Amino acid sequence: MLAEKHYRPLFHFAPAFGWLNDPNGLVYKDGEYHLFYQYYPGDSVWGPMHWGHAVSTDLLSWTHLPIALAPDELGMCFSGTAAVDKGDKSGLFGGKDGLLAYYTIAAEKLPDDADFPQSQGLAYSADNGRHWTKYSGNPVIPNPGLQDFRDPKVFWHEPSQHWIMVVTLGQKVGIYRSVDAKNWQFSSSFGEGHGAHDERAWECPDLFEIKVEGQSESRWILIVGVQREAYIAGSGTQYFVGRFDGEHFSNDNTPETVLWLDYGRDFYATQTWADIPQADGRRLALGWMSCWPYANHLPTQSWRSAMSIPHELTLKPTDDGLRLYHAFIRELKNTLADNHQLYGVSCAAPASLFDIEWTEALQIKLAVSLEDNSSLMLSPMQGTQLILTAQNNELVLQCLRQGAYGNEAYDQGFPHDYVIRLGVNRKLTLELLLDRCSVELLVDEGRYSITNLAFPEQGPEHTLRAELTTGAVVADAEWHLLTPGK
């Protein structure tokens, strides 16, 4: 393997040291994007959970701040959310605006406990998150008798004039309501018999309203994490499209419909930013770029795990119904160092379309038209291949990844070979974002998002290769090297 410095990403948030997992408390206030996250500063494997904290003005360059929340006599600080309390509805800020943070209190395990006993806690900050006070009445919601009761997402619902909390209730999510952000009442639950389940609890719910592109109406999106049996074995994120009336969520699709937010193996615990200004209007999402079966065993030592690049989500009509589409944040345009283009390249196999040398980071956009019985192989870096095949008028993307360094969990869990069926053969767009330890791909104008880690054994110089192995192709390509702080 390479020295760990060659795996530290340039454009993806990672801890300076220690362990990172779920994004928590994504909120915008007074010109700053806040990123809180599950953090253990004492080691680079999972341990007693704190809330790390960083801020940014552009979602790419982050300033690390002191730990926001730390374990206390009630327990550890598991995942949760943050929101701006506009107008001091909680009564905690003397009539001014402030920040509320809700987190799961994970108490000490007793001999008969299957997991850490869980309840919901509240903390608040009057100085834009620099200092936090835990609410003296914690927990604000005691455990209702469940093993899995965690990961609260809280927002203000203007039509009903209530705070809404969505929280894991085992294989379901529960919806709670509050007027003052401190006293909560159970309203309803959703999830039994709907979507994808495995033997473990759903995790990290999010619920938000989003406009249907090109229409005046909107829908509500419910996001939940599936711990072990996602699209590919391991952790993953699914979503539901539906309606929310302030008390109940209803699914627009049939209960057996499963919609995956990402088709890679390293996009989990996804959350979206709260309180984005209306003038901006984007729904910005962030995922933990790892997967539980091998997360504790990645080949770095002093730090472990990173976040995805933030995504802009939109909801679009398709022949299959309303679906979320992804785009990499537009702020990446400010990092472009150069520009290279190829248009109308037409060739028959075997042929090389291009070899692009890169070291730090690279973004490339492709538009390809494959004849039937053709295959185009993209090799972003050593150990990773993406093979697009047109056969019998169908497009299929094969994702391959190799990797081993003598750790059994990593050596067995990290490699993969799986396919994504993309429908009828047609001109297809592909957008790749490559950083030092990640390969992020958006397909078909963002209809499919595919996020995978990569730890090449050779480098730090890499070559992105595009090779036509069978058939014929017509392709356009535009690519840029990316430079931090440009």
Would the pLDDT of 245 be above 90? Answer: yes
Tens digits of residue pLDDT in 26-48? 999 999 999 999 999 999 999 99
What pLDDT score does 1 carry? 86
81 secondary structure, DSSP code: E
Q: Average of pLDDT values for 124-132? A: 98
Q: Which residues are catalytic?
A: 22
Please check whether residue 119 is in contact with residue 147, taking contact to mean a CB–CB distance below 8 angstroms.
Answer: no
Can you tell me which residue has the tokens 């060659």?
A: 6
Those residues whose C-beta lies under 8 Å from the C-beta of residue 439, and which sit 6 or more positions away, are: 380, 381, 384, 386, 432, 451, 452, 453, 454
- Tokens read off for 325: 């589409």
Mean pLDDT score, 147-173: 98
In 3D space, the residue among 316, 308, 314 whose CA is nearest the CA of residue 332 turns out to be 308
- The single residue listed with the structure tokens 């095949």 is 389
The DSSP H or E segment spanning 409 is helix 408-413
Please identify which residue in the block is written with the tokens 């903390």. 123
In angstroms, what is the C-alpha Rg of the chain? 22
Predicted pLDDT at 447? 98
Provide the percentage of residues in the chain whose pLDDT is more than 70: 100
Q: Give burial (CB, 10 Å; 0-12/13-18/19+) of 339.
A: exposed
pLDDT in tens, 184-213: 999 999 999 999 999 999 999 999 999 999
According to DSSP, the residues that pair with 65 across neighbouring strands are: 53
Strands 18-29 and 303-304: parallel
Q: Which residues make Cβ contacts (< 8 Å) with residue 279, sequence separation at least 6?
A: none
At 393, the amino acid letter reads: N
> How do beta strands 321-328 and 340-348 pair?
unpaired
Under the banding of pLDDT at 50, 70 and 90, the label for residue 115 is confident
Tell me the pLDDT tens digit for each residue of 376-389: 999 999 999 999 99
Looking at residue 46, its pLDDT comes to 97
Residues 6+ apart with CB under 8 A from 412: none
- pLDDT value of position 110: 85
Q: What mean pLDDT is reported for the chain?
A: 97
Q: Which residues on adjacent β-strands are paired with residue 166?
A: 153, 175
Residue type for position 13: F
Instruction: Determine the Cα–Cα distance for residues 447 and 95; give it in Å rounded to an integer.
Output: 44
- Cα(first)–Cα(last) distance of the chain, in Å? 30
Determine how many CB atoms are found less than 10 A away from the CB of residue 76: 22
Give the distance, in angstroms, between the CA of residue 187 and the centroid of all CA atoms in the same chain.
28
486, pLDDT greater than 90: no
- Give the pTM: 0.97
Q: Residue 384 carries which side chain, given as an amino acid letter?
A: T
Q: Convert the pLDDT of each residue in 260-313 to its tens digit.
A: 999 999 999 999 999 999 999 999 999 999 999 999 999 999 999 999 999 999
pLDDT of residue 413: 96
Closest CA to 32 of 276, 365, 296, 252: 276
Cα–Cα–Cα angle for 300, 411, 18, nearest 5°? 20
In what side-by-side order are the strands of the sheet with 374-381?
351-358, 462-470, 374-381, 384-391, 394-401, 416-424
